[in-house]
Amino acid sequence: MPVTIRKSSPDLQFDVAAPAGWSYAAGDTIIGNLIRHTPIISPEAVITLTLIGRIKTKITESKSNDSRTNYRSEALLVRSEQTIFSGRPLHLPEGSGAPLSWEFSVDIPTEPLQSVRRRYTPSTSFVPLDRDHPAHHTLPGSFVSSRDGMTVSSTGFVEYYLKAQLRYTFKGSSKLVEAIWPFRLGHPIDQTAAPQLSTLKHLSYPQRIQSQRLLPGMHQADLTLKQKTQKLFGSSKVPRLCFRLDIYHPAAIQLNNPQPIPIILEIGPLPDQTSPSVEEQIIVINWVRMTLHQRTSVLAPSNFFSDLAHDDGHPASRSLNLETAFQRLETPLMMSTGEKGEKKVNIGEMFQLVLRSSGFASDSRYLSSVSPIPDFTTYSIRHVNTVEWKVAYSVAGETGTVKATSAMRIIAAS
C-alpha cells in the first residue's frame, strides 16, 4: 500500500509555482501550469485537474502457515475537480520550440468532507463520531509511518496530490495521459492545546545518599574497609542526605517558537530525613538527557465485522543530545541544599533551548537533527509524543540518577 508518487512525462507534467519541498496549509491556493512537450494533433481534447486528499491504513497479520491476512481502511478527506481545457482542437507540431501550456489555480479546502466520518465505526476510529471534534473540521497534515514486524506489519499515511488527465482523440481512438504531483500539507495548529504552552508539569523524586563522605572534611577521603562495608549494607551509622530533585517542564511546546523552552531543575532539602551531622552539600548536575519517544497507532476494521478493530503501534525514540550542552560548560552546574546556595535553575533559559522543525538547538547550535512530528489524532491514525528525562548528579563523590517519563505535546509551528 504505497503512497502516491509523482508522475511526469513530456506528454503531460506539472510546473507549480512553489520551491521544492514547500509545505502548504489548508486554505492556500496552488497555482501553476500544465505542460505538454510531445507533439500532438487532435480534433478534440479535455483536461481535468483533481485535488485529492486521503487517509489510509493497512495491517497485515502473518500466520504460522505462511498465510497473511490484510485489514485496510481508507477514506477521502478532500476531493475537488475542475476542467481547465475542453472541446477544442490541440495542435503542437513537430519541432515546435514552445510547449503547450495551461494555467491552473486550485484552492485547498479548509475542512474535510462531511462524508469522511461515514467511512468509520466507533470502534475503528480514534475520533468520536457521535459528537463534535476538531478532527471533523481540520485537515490533518501529510504523514506516513510504517512498521515491519515478525507477525504483524502495518502502515498508515495521510497524503495530498494533484492529478491531471488529458483525454484526446487520435485517428478515431481515445487516448489518455496522466500526471500526478504530490504536495505536502503542514500540520494544523491544535488550538485546544495552546493553553498547555504556559502550563508547567511537575515531576518530583526523593533522593537518598548514604556515605561517610557527607561528613565535614570527608569529601575526598578514602573509605576504610569497615566504612565501605557499613555503606554497602546501609548501616544506620552511615550519615545520610535526603532531598527532592524536581523537574518542571511545559505540558506542550510549539515548533519554531523562538522563546526558550522552560525546563527547570530544583533541589528541595529534606532536613527531617537527613542526618544531623550532615551539613549543606553541593550537588553537581553532571548532565540531563532528553529522549523523545514517538508512537503512532493505526486502526483498521475486520474484513467480516466492521465493528471489530485491529490495531498496531509504531514506536520510535531519538535522543535530543541535551547532555552535550553540559559538556560545553566551562564550570559545572552546581546546586546546593543550603539556605544560600542555588536551588532552582532554568536550564532551558541557560542553554537557550528551542525545538525547531529541523532539530533541537541550544544557543542557535543544533544538538540533534531530529525532525519532530506534532501530536495529532485523525480517524484511523494517532500520533503522540513523550519525553524521557534522565538527570545524573554527584554529591560528595557519590553519584545518583533520576529517570522519568512524561507526556509533552508538540504543537505545529505557526
Instruction: Give pLDDT tens digits for 329-376.
Output: 999 999 998 877 788 999 999 999 999 999 999 998 999 999 899 999
pLDDT at residue 61 is higher than 60: yes
Q: Kindly report the CA angle at 245 between 240 and 250, in degrees rounded to 5? A: 175
The closest of 258, 266, 367 to 318, measured between CA atoms, is 367
Count other C-beta atoms under 10 Å from residue 312's C-beta: 23
Mean pLDDT of 66-73: 88
pLDDT grade for 400, boundaries at 50, 70 and 90:
very high
Lowest mean pLDDT among 233-242, 252-261, 308-317, 353-362: 233-242
This prediction's pTM: 0.88
pLDDT at residue 302 is higher than 70: yes
Cα of first residue to Cα of last residue in the chain, in angstroms, is 32
Highest mean pLDDT among 46-55, 148-157, 213-222: 46-55
Mean pLDDT of 104-133: 93
The share of the chain scoring above pLDDT 70, in percent, equals 93
Between these two residues, 299 and 222, which has the higher pLDDT value?
299
**What pLDDT does 230 receive?**
56
pLDDT single digits (tens) 163-187? 999 999 887 789 899 999 999 999 9
Strand partners, 39: none
> How confident is the prediction for the chain on average, in pLDDT?
90
**Residue 411 and residue 253 in contact, taking contact as beta carbons nearer than 8 Å:** yes
Distance CA 306, CA 105 (A): 39
pLDDT at residue 229 is higher than 60: no
Burial of 336 (0-12, 13-18, 19+ CB in 10 A): middle
Count other C-beta atoms under 10 Å from residue 233's C-beta: 8
pLDDT at residue 20 is higher than 90: no
pLDDT at residue 222 is higher than 80: no
Burial of 252 (0-12, 13-18, 19+ CB in 10 A): buried
Distance CA 171, CA 173 (A): 6
Between these two residues, 88 and 142, which has the higher pLDDT value?
142
**Residue 393 and residue 384 in contact, taking contact as beta carbons nearer than 8 Å:** no
Domains in the chain, start-ordered, CATH in brackets?
13-187 (2.60.40.640), 192-411 (no CATH)
Mean pLDDT of 35-64: 93
Strand pairing report for 282-301 and 309-319: antiparallel
Mean pLDDT of 250-279: 92
**What pLDDT does 149 receive?**
86
Phi-psi region of 27 (alpha: psi -120 to 50; beta: other; left: phi over 0): left
pLDDT at residue 221 is higher than 60: no
Distance CA 320, CA 229 (A): 39
DSSP E strand stretches across 262-308: 264-269, 282-301
The type of residue at 252 is A
Mean pLDDT of 107-125: 94
**What pLDDT does 216 receive?**
62
